[in-house]
Amino acid sequence: MTVPGLRPGGPLLTERLHGTPAAAAVVARAADRSGDVASAAVPLARVVRGDLVESVHLGHLVVLAPDGSVALALGDPEVTVLARSSLKPLQAVGMLRAGVDLDGPHLALACASHDGTSEHLRVVRETLLGAGLDESALDNTPDLPLDPDAAFAWRQDGHGPEPVAQNCSGKHAAMLATCVAHADEPGWQPEGYLDAEHPVQVACRAAVEELTGVQAWHTTVDGCGAPLFSTTLLGLARAFARIAVAPATEPGTPLARVATAMSGHPVLVGGAARDVTRAMQAVPGLVAKDGADGVYAAGLPDGSALALKVLDGSARPRPAVLAAALRVAGAAGVPGVDLDALAALGSTPVLGHGEPVGAVVPAFGPDAGAGDDPGTGAPAGATAS
């Protein structure tokens, strides 16, 4: 079996020593180096109600400068994480390298955690149709659309949870299309495409490892059913930097195609009211992707990038932390940026009786809350250059 587009960066899954003492020792050493995700976590955001800090969200964050150096590190940038759907742009690069022919809205949907609107589902179905398949080929977890209005309309039409409505269906449709691109080759059958040893997953894993520069020592199953590979926050930020700068440095490559598709179709990547969509609409050329359990990654067209993990997995502080990190990365200086939209992105009010009585405040940057270093606006223990 051959997998087109593989790059150096780690052994194939079939070459790993599954279940052997040697493999267990390697994983143990990797875990010992990275520590538990709770180790070294610092405040990323504070929840202020009235004049009192009501709660604090801890986590890890790294911001990279255009030259790849660390501009800001909060907590442990080398912490090992499961980046969840923030890996989708990297997986899409792997699928393009393996031979799938997608661009524009169909490639954006391959990178999406979509709202499940009629437009999202139309594009998913077009991807399947282009591969000669229909919805019955999808093996992702059945679900309702993420968007409440879309879910209501879906129910009104007599539907229940279905794979096509689940937010990862675009990625799964692209995985199936990749299989069909190799229909005459043994091992590439669409059936069983979620097996971690299937060549489409081998291609995705190889792209994750090559773009991040980090060996994926941990493999598990994501909520949608696809294999999920570990990485580090620093590696994730490196990958997004490479993707976001690619239209200028590597035009026409899989990385550039992913960046162009995502930044050109931000509503398809998430949804009209979603912070990932609003961020890309506010900052031209931004490539951003949210992930479950408090993960976010983004890259700017100059090569600046960021990645973050909220320790408790909460989505609540992510917009405020993302907006603050984008400002640290220089998003406000991107030509054509909508500064008002960027400011609105980070606005997360705390409500009392339906009215704002506080806010989620980032623990770093110019809007840092009480208890942070007044000189740098960073929590104690943060490093910056």
Confidence of residue 93 (pLDDT cuts 50, 70, 90): very high
pLDDT at 375: 36
Query: Helix, strand, or coil here: 88?
Result: helix
Among 10-14, 55-59, 229-233, 329-333, where is mean pLDDT lowest?
10-14
User: Could you tell me the pLDDT band of residue 385, with boundaries at 50, 70 and 90?
Assistant: very low
pLDDT of res. 80: 97
Q: DSSP letter for 166, please.
A: S
Q: Which two tokens stand for residue 169?
A: 């269906």
Task: Centre a 10 Å sphere on the Cβ of residue 2 and count the other Cβ atoms it contains.
Answer: 10
Give dist(CA 299, CA 85) in Å, integer: 15
The string of pLDDT tens digits covering residues 137-169 is: 999 999 999 999 999 999 999 999 999 999 999
| Plot region of 225 (φ>0 → left; ψ -120 to 50 → alpha; else → beta) | left
pLDDT of 215 reads: 97
Q: How far, in Å, CA of 179 to CA of 193, rounded?
A: 8
| Helical spans, DSSP H, in the chain | 21-34, 88-97, 104-110, 118-130, 148-156, 169-180, 199-212, 233-249, 254-264, 266-269, 275-282, 318-329, 339-345
The gap from C-alpha 169 to its chain's centroid, in whole angstroms, comes to: 15
Distances (CA, A) of 203 to 1, 180, 188, 210: 12, 14, 12, 11
Please say if the pLDDT value at position 20 is more than 80: no
- Could you report the per-residue pLDDT of 37-49, keeping only the tens digit for each? 999 999 999 999 9
pTM: 0.90
Percent of residues, the chain, with pLDDT higher than 90: 85
Rounded distance, CA 309 to CA 41, Å? Answer: 9
pLDDT confidence tier of residue 366, bands split at 50, 70 and 90: confident
Residue 53 has which token pair? Answer: 């800090």
- Averaged pLDDT of the chain: 91
Distance CA 74, CA 321 (A): 12
The residue to which tokens 């070294």 are assigned:
40
- Rounded CA separation 187/231 (Å): 27
Q: Are 173 and 91 in contact (CB under 8 A)?
A: no
Is the CB of residue 52 less than 8 Å from the CB of residue 169?
no
Residue whose C-alpha is closest to residue 177's, from 226, 135, 224, 130:
130
Q: Which two tokens stand for residue 151?
A: 């879910």
Q: Say what the pLDDT of residue 13 is.
A: 37
How many CA atoms, within 13 angstroms, populate the side-chain half-sphere of residue 89? 35
pLDDT at 5 over 70: no
For position 210, what pLDDT does the model report?
98
Confidence check: pLDDT of 321 > 70: yes
| Domains present along the chain, CATH in parentheses | 42-384 (3.40.710)
Residue 25 has pLDDT above 90, yes or no: no
181-217 confidence digits (pLDDT tens)? 999 999 999 999 999 999 999 999 999 999 999 999 9
User: What does the chain come to in residues?
Assistant: 385
Q: Is the pLDDT reported for residue 101 higher than 60?
A: yes
pLDDT of residue 2: 54
Q: Which residue type sits at 307?
A: A
